């Protein structure tokens, strides 16, 4: 099977003595064109891996900033095919792996095999699926193996040892270690439970674990990278884009990247 570009990027950053910075933005916010420019700006300002979210009408895990952005995108006419357009245009401009964060229902509605093929055709690296557990992912596991796409499953503080083990075995690229219970959003302190989740993932055999939910400063990025392989930032970047446009999101990326150097 073709090597994972996501895993290779993370390993390269870890080997360099730090870890990867992963940046999230929703496609289509505030417009499709601006979201593409913003994603490019993240990479140009130090983000190693992009996580592009597909706006969805029932974003159960997303905090206020991301929910507002995705609702704006939907109200402006976002369609799932716009996600593929964005990935293709971003990949034409910057050489960084692009993962798609999506709830599972849109993939099923589009067709799992059709979605996976379209994703590969535009240069996407794989999917982060927050509401899909490995035990219910047979179709996705099969087609992602066939097309060499990454599949990132979540591990939370409440996950049983068996569930953590399954996430490690089923994930390709990295395992997404959720630092807190609840929804996304910048927090003053990243939950100490993150260290416990990553330690348990290591015991289960994980060689690539990245922490997300609540990271919003360079110091938090730096702290997370002392024990995890990557730090995932979302709400901070979405808020920067909402408040100051592409220039502001690029500046936020530069600040956050200082914690990964």
Radius of gyration of the chain (CA): 16
Q: Mean pLDDT of all residues in the chain?
A: 92
Q: 205 vs 60, which has greater pLDDT?
A: 205
According to the model, what pLDDT value does residue 183 have?
44
Average pLDDT over residues 215-243: 94
- For CA atoms 242, 105, 63, 97, the dihedral sign is negative
Beta bridge partner(s), residue 232: 22
Banded pLDDT at 191 (limits 50, 70, 90): low
pLDDT tens digits, one per residue of 109-140: 999 999 999 999 999 999 999 999 999 999 99
Instruction: Spell out the residues 6+ positions from residue 224 whose beta carbon is closer than 8 angstroms to its own.
Output: 19, 190, 194, 211, 215, 231
Q: 154 vs 185, which has greater pLDDT?
A: 154
At residue 202, does pLDDT exceed 80? yes
Percent of the chain with pLDDT over 70: 92
Average pLDDT over residues 38-47: 98
At residue 182, does pLDDT exceed 70? no
According to the model, what pLDDT value does residue 254 have?
98
Banded pLDDT at 181 (limits 50, 70, 90): very low
CATH entry, 5-260, from 2.60.40.10, 3.50.50.60, 3.30.420.40, 3.20.20.70: 3.20.20.70
DSSP collapsed to 3 states, the chain: CCCCHHHHHHHHHHHCCCCEEEEEEECCCCCHHHHHHHHHHHHHCCCCEEEEECCCCCCCCCCHHHHHHHHHHHHCCCCHHHHHHHHHHHHHHCCCCEEEECCHHHHHHHCHHHHHHHHHHCCCCEEECCCCCHHHCHHHHHHHHHHCCEEECEECCCCCHHHHHHHHHHCECCEEEECCCCCCCCCCCCCCHHHHHHHHHHHCCCCCEEEECCCCCHHHHHHHCCCCCEEEECHHHHHHHHHHHHHHHHHHHHHHHHHHC
- Answering whether pTM is above 0.75, one says yes
Average pLDDT over residues 164-177: 97
Banded pLDDT at 197 (limits 50, 70, 90): very high
Active site residues: 51, 62
At residue 185, does pLDDT exceed 50? yes
pLDDT tens digits, one per residue of 54-81: 998 765 566 677 888 888 888 989 999 9
Q: 185 vs 15, which has greater pLDDT?
A: 15
Average pLDDT over residues 223-238: 95
């Amino acid at each position: 099977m073709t090597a994972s570009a996501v895993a290779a990027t993370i390993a390269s950053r870890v080997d360099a003595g730090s870890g990867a910075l992963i940046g999230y933005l929703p496609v289509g916010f505030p417009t499709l064109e601006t979201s593409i420019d913003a994603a490019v700006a993240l990479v140009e300002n130090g983000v190693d891996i992009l996580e592009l979210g597909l706006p969805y009408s029932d974003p159960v895990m997303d905090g206020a900033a991301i929910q507002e952005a995705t609702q704006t995108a939907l109200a402006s006419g976002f369609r799932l095919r716009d996600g593929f357009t964005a990935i293709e245009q971003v990949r034409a401009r910057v050489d960084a792996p692009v993962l798609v964060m999506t709830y599972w229902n849109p993939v099923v509605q589009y067709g799992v095999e059709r979605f996976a093929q379209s994703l590969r055709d535009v240069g996407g690296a794989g999917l982060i699926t927050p509401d899909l557990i490995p035990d219910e992912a047979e179709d996705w596991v099969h087609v992602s193996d066939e097309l060499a796409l990454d599949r990132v499953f979540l591990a939370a503080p409440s996950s049983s040892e068996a569930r953590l083990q399954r996430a490690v075995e089923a994930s390709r690229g990295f395992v997404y270690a959720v630092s807190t219970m609840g929804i996304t959003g910048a927090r003053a302190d990243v939950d100490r439970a993150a260290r416990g989740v990553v330690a348990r993932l290591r015991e289960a055999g994980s060689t690539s674990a990245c922490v997300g939910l609540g990271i919003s400063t360079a110091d938090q990025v730096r702290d997370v990278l002392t024990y995890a392989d990557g730090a995932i930032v979302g709400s901070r970047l979405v808020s920067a884009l909402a408040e100051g446009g592409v220039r502001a999101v690029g500046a936020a990326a530069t600040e956050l990247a200082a914690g990964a150097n």
